[in-house]
């Protein structure tokens, strides 16, 4: 597994709601420094879904990395896609995938035209770290995209949660949450008993341990919703987006 990409984008506690729509609009500036900064942020966060989509389309590692950069710089930011998109209704994920589909269809023509890599010297993706091999490799390009997208959001929510727990002095809460919930999901194993967790972490009783898990689960839910909110246009869309991702991942799980 790779190190989780950490970013402060969105705010640990979500004080100011910022969506990726607004972020992209802000990138449409004549200030090259600002533009590069925003592009770097978006690229850092969403290169993986795009990369895996392209890999599943048959591109090798190096080509896919080049194309990812070209996609964000030339297509997402360089054209009028965002201005033409209905941001009030759109989900960033859908927008990105639609644009990516079009981009993939256009790639051969663009390849024959010559240069693909973006101008301006963005950090190369291989400097970010090679992506992990996963079940996404077996999926369709679209499934790989959604898988990587959901994974990224979950990673961000978990990073937020861990930071929140640690800064609040709730390291034991975090440890119990990991042991009782995250590890069993990852390993496909039975969760440890509450009594075992009490003994391991010096927790007074099982009820306290149970409450710790529930408290952190609630915080995880909040952190996850906050991250989802960055990718949709309104609070009302959050539940629909989560349901959508669960359905897509459910289909992928059934197929694999």
Partner 1 sequence: MRNESTFGWGPEQIGRLLAVGADAGASEDERPPDRVTEELLRDRLAGPLPLDKTVVDSLPVILGRLCRELLPLAGKPLGEVLLDPDTELSVLETVKDYGKGLPLGRKKGPEHAIAIAIYYAAIASALLYHDRKITEHSWENLEQSFAMLIDKRWLPPELSRHLAKAKVVCERRK
Considering only residues 35-74, where is the footprint of partner 1 by CB under 8 A?
48
**Cβ atoms < 10 Å from Cβ of 83:** 10
Asked if 55 contacts 144 with a C-beta cutoff of 8 angstroms, the reply is yes
Which lies closer to partner 1 via its Cβ, residue 48 or residue 76? 48
In the chain the first and final C-alpha atoms are separated, in Å, by: 20
| Window of 61-69, 77-85, 106-114, 130-138 that interacts with partner 1 by CB under 8 A | 130-138
With CB under 8 A as the contact rule, the residue among 82, 157, 198, 203 that binds partner 1 is: 157
Which lies closer to partner 1 via its Cβ, residue 79 or residue 186? 186
In the complex, minimum distance from the CB of residue 49 to partner 1, in angstroms, rounded to a whole number: 10
In the complex, minimum distance from the CB of residue 196 to partner 1, in angstroms, rounded to a whole number: 17
Signed CA dihedral, 33, 39, 42, 43: sign only = negative
Please, what's the b/e burial string for 42-81 (b: 16 or more CB within 10 A of its CB; e: otherwise)?
A: bbbbbbbbbbbbbbbbebeeebbbbbbbbbbbbbbbeeeb
- List the interface residues with partner 1, window 161-220 (CB under 8 A): 162, 164, 167-168, 178, 181-183, 185-186, 188, 207, 210-211, 213-215, 217-218, 220
With CB under 8 A as the contact rule, the residue among 12, 35, 36, 110 that binds partner 1 is: 12
- List the interface residues with partner 1, window 75-104 (CB under 8 A): none
- Ramachandran quadrant class, 134 (left: phi over 0; alpha: psi -120 to 50; beta: rest): beta
């Amino acid at each position: 597994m790779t190190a989780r990409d950490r970013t402060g984008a969105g705010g640990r506690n979500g004080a100011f709601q910022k969506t990726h729509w607004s972020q992209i609009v802000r990138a449409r500036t004549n200030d090259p420094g600002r533009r590069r900064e925003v592009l770097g942020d978006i690229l850092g966060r969403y290169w993986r879904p795009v990369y895996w989509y392209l890999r599943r389309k048959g591109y090798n590692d190096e080509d896919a990395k080049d194309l990812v950069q070209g996609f964000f710089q030339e297509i997402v930011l360089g054209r009028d896609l965002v201005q033409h998109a209905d941001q009030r209704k759109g989900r960033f994920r859908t927008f990105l995938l639609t644009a990516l589909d079009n981009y993939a269809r256009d790639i051969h023509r663009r390849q024959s035209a010559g240069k693909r890599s973006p101008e301006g010297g963005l950090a190369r993706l291989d400097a970010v770290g090679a992506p992990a091999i996963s079940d996404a490799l077996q999926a369709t390009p679209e499934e790989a995209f959604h898988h990587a997208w959901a994974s990224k959001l979950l990673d961000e929510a978990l990073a937020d949660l861990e930071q929140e727990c640690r800064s609040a002095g709730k390291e034991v809460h975090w440890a119990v949450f990991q042991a009782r919930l995250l590890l069993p999901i990852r390993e496909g194993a039975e969760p440890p008993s509450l009594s075992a967790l009490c003994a391991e972490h010096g927790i007074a009783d099982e009820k306290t341990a149970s409450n710790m898990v529930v408290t952190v689960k609630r915080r995880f839910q909040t952190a996850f919703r906050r991250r989802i909110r960055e990718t949709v246009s309104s609070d009302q869309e959050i539940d629909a987006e989560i349901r959508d991702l669960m359905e897509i991942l459910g289909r992928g799980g059934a197929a694999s």
